[in-house]
């Protein structure tokens, strides 16, 4: 359940038909674009150093978390967990191409799990059938006092 120290707001978005790429590295408005594209409801939780947007897909197959830093007006991390991988092109935007380039240079066959940290992008993915997890963090955009482990 939601931790007691978090201030809770539930925002029902009036979705615009104009969806755009994407959220990671973008401003707070881009989260609306993600929610629209993914047909998701949004739950917002505010903590001392960032806001956490939970995107809840209509079929409830996946939970997506978007970490937003109000001080820099930047989404600095995205995580997901669920029965399949979400539209990560939508979620990662320009970082989707960067992630492709990083993954191409990985050595060896990693079929089920991979973690990389290059060019201020930390990523970790794992998955078996109906059990997929992903986390992409812009490490230089993380608020002070945030850690990779705290981003779940």
Partner 1 sequence: MKKLIAFNKIEFTLSISLLLSACGGGGSSSVTSNTIPVVIDSGPLPITNPTRNILYTTVTVCKPGTTNCQTIDHIQVDSGSIGLRIINSAAITNLGLQVMQVNNLPVSECITFGIGYTWGSIVYADLYWGNQFVKNTPINVIAGSTAAVPALCSDFAIPPLENTVASFSANGIIGINPVLYDHESTVFRSESSGYGYYTCNGNDCNYITLPNNQQVINPISGFPVGYNNGYIIKLPAVNANYATILVGELILGLNSESNNQIPANAIIVYSNPVFGVVNTIYQDIDYKSIFDSGSNEYYFTDNTIPKCEGELYCPINPLNLNAQVHSYTPPLNITTTPFTIKGLDGIPNTAAVLPYIGSYAQDIFLWGLPFFMGKNVYIALDKSAVSGQSITPFAGYSSYTDK
Within 8 A by CB and 6+ apart from 141, the residues are 25, 69, 72, 74, 76, 120
* Closer of 49 and 124 to partner 1 (Cβ): 124
Q: Which region among 23-31, 43-51, 68-76, 111-119 touches partner 1 (by CB under 8 A)?
A: 111-119
Report if residue 120 touches partner 1, rule: CB under 8 A. Answer: no
Report if residue 61 touches partner 1, rule: CB under 8 A. Answer: yes
Report if residue 83 touches partner 1, rule: CB under 8 A. Answer: yes
Compute CA distances 11 → 8, 107, 110, 116, 123, whole Å: 10, 43, 39, 34, 29
Q: Is 46 helix (H, G, I), strand (E, B) or coil?
A: strand
Which of 49, 63, 81, 139 is the binder for partner 1 (CB under 8 A)? 81
Report if residue 119 touches partner 1, rule: CB under 8 A. Answer: no
Q: Which region among 8-16, 25-33, 44-52, 84-92 touches partner 1 (by CB under 8 A)?
A: 84-92
Within 8 A by CB and 6+ apart from 28, the residues are 51, 68, 70, 73, 75
- Residue 73, class by beta-carbon neighbours within 10 Å (0-12 exposed, 13-18 middle, 19+ buried)? exposed
Convert residues 89-108 into a mask of x (bound to partner 1 by CB under 8 A) and - (unbound). Answer: xx-----x--xx--xx-x-x
- Least distance (Å) between residue 57 CB and partner 1: 8
Within 8 A by CB and 6+ apart from 90, the residues are 19, 21, 22, 23, 34, 37, 38
Report if residue 110 touches partner 1, rule: CB under 8 A. Answer: yes
Query: In the complex, which residues of this chain contact partner 1 (CB under 8 A)?
Result: 59, 61, 81, 83-90, 96, 99-100, 103-104, 106, 108-117, 124-135, 149
């Amino acid at each position: 359940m939601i931790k007691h120290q978090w201030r809770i707001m539930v925002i029902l978005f009036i979705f615009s038909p104009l969806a755009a790429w994407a959220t990671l590295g973008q401003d707070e408005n881009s989260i609306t674009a993600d929610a629209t594209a993914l047909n998701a409801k949004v739950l917002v939780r505010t903590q001392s150093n960032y806001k956490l947007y939970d995107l809840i897909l209509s079929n409830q197959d996946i939970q997506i978390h978007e970490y937003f830093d109000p001080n820099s007006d930047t989404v600095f991390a995205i995580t997901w967990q669920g029965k399949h991988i979400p539209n990560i092109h939508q979620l990662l935007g320009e970082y989707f191409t960067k992630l492709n380039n990083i993954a191409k240079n990985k050595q060896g066959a990693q079929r089920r799990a991979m973690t990389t940290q290059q060019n201020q992008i930390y990523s970790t993915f794992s998955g078996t059938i109906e059990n997929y997890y992903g986390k992409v963090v812009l490490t230089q955009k993380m608020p002070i006092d945030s850690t990779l482990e705290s981003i779940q």
